[in-house]
């Protein structure tokens, strides 16, 4: 990290706050899940004791063991939620080093995180094509820093239970503001609006959510259960492939129709690709 710092612009501060809000939301989600698990872990044993119906010793042991596991999980999540505070810096920093990529697998899905030393790099949404050739190379990035101030005592306690997870935690977050001519957050937000990048990300999340909801709606129809129950795996695979093709085609048509509608409603609609917009063009 170098000392050639400068004050953040108003638009860059707004962009930094959006990241801080996201991290704070994640923290409260952890706390809420942890508190819920704690309450559930405490309530299950008394519920078993005061239950009117007779239960076997094995069932009692299973409930108590489950409640202890839920309670311990709640303690861990609560600890992770409380273990650190976020402190954004008012000046930008020139961060230099080798860009590394790590993958985290959750239920078969891969999530990517990027680091320079122990700083986690947060790229703007839609910058995947910019990131890919930079992995493993020496880069220089202008970033807005969010420093993490861990709670020393909580860190010591949590490290006894999940040392690997604690070691994977970054010392701070570097929010990318500039990278050569490929990224210029200030110019992008000035030209396309301070909420442009947020709306760009929400658009894809909303689209994925709608597709998931529609898929679940289709999957819970009675005729689907009837088809699955039949011993004809070929028919089931044919239906699955047909659904994926149909839903993909529908998605493309919806995107094209949306763009055409925007052009008709607003003849001055800007068709500049997102990668060009990240440059501020």
pLDDT tens per residue, range 92-107: 999 999 999 988 776 5
Query: For residues 90 and 228, what is the distance between their CA atoms, to the nearest angstrom?
Result: 58
Least reliable range by pLDDT among 150-164, 171-185, 263-277: 150-164
Q: What angle do CA 15, 20, 25 make, to 5 degrees?
A: 130
Residue 270 has pLDDT above 80, yes or no: no
DSSP 134-199: GTTSEEEEEEEEEEEEE-HHHHHHHHHH-HHHHHHS-SEEEEEEEETTTEEHHHHHHHH-TTHHHH
Q: How confident is the model at residue 188 (pLDDT cuts 50, 70, 90)?
A: very high
Q: Express as a percent the part of the chain with pLDDT over 70.
A: 71
Domain map of the chain by residue range? Answer: 6-192, 196-278
Token look-up 């917009």 returns 277
- Nearest CA to 199 among 122, 277, 252, 97? 277
Burial of 6 from C-beta contacts in 10 A (0-12 / 13-18 / 19+): exposed
Neighbours of 148 (CB within 10 A): 19
Query: For residues 162 and 151, what is the distance between their CA atoms, to the nearest angstrom?
Result: 16
Q: How confident is the model at residue 86 (pLDDT cuts 50, 70, 90)?
A: confident
Q: Convert the pLDDT of each residue in 30-80 to its tens digit.
A: 888 888 888 878 877 776 666 555 666 776 777 778 888 888 888 777 777
Inter-residue contact 7 to 91 (CB < 8 Å)? yes
Q: Convert the pLDDT of each residue in 222-268 to its tens digit.
A: 666 565 555 555 666 677 777 778 877 777 777 667 667 766 766 66
- Main-chain phi, psi angles of 99, to 5 degrees: -80, 120
CA 115 remoteness from chain centre: 16
Q: Across the strands, what pairs with 7?
A: 91
Q: Convert the pLDDT of each residue in 134-154 to its tens digit.
A: 999 999 999 999 988 766 666
Q: How confident is the model at residue 108 (pLDDT cuts 50, 70, 90)?
A: low
Identify the pLDDT of residue 94.
Answer: 92
Higher pLDDT, 119 or 153: 119
């Amino acid at each position: 990290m170098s000392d050639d710092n400068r004050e953040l612009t108003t638009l860059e501060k707004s962009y930094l706050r959006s990241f801080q809000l996201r991290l704070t939301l994640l923290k409260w989600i952890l706390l809420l899940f942890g508190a819920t698990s704690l309450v559930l872990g405490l309530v299950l044993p008394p519920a078993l004791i005061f239950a009117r119906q007779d239960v076997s010793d094995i069932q009692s042991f299973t409930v108590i063991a489950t409640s202890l596991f839920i309670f311990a999980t709640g303690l861990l999540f609560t600890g992770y939620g409380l273990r650190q505070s976020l402190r954004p810096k008012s000046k930008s920093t020139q961060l230099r080093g080798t860009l590394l990529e790590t993958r985290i697998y959750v239920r078969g899905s891969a999530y990517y995180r990027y680091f320079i030393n122990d700083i986690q790099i947060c790229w703007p949404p839609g910058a995947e094509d910019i990131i890919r050739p930079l992995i493993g190379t020496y880069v220089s990035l202008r970033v807005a820093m969010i420093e993490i101030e861990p709670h020393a005592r909580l860190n010591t306690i949590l490290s006894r239970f999940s040392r690997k997870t604690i070691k994977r935690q970054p010392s701070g977050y570097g929010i990318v503001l500039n990278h050569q001519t490929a990224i210029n957050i200030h110019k992008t937000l000035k030209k396309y609006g301070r909420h442009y990048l947020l709306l760009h990300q929400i658009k894809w999340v909303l689209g994925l959510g709608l597709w998931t909801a529609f898929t679940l709606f289709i999957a819970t129809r009675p005729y689907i259960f009837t088809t699955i129950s039949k011993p004809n795996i070929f028919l089931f695979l044919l239906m699955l492939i047909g659904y994926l093709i149909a839903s993909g085609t529908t998605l493309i048509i919806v995107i094209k129709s949306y763009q055409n509608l925007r052009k008709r409603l607003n003849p001055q609609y800007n068709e500049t690709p997102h990668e060009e917009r990240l440059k501020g063009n």
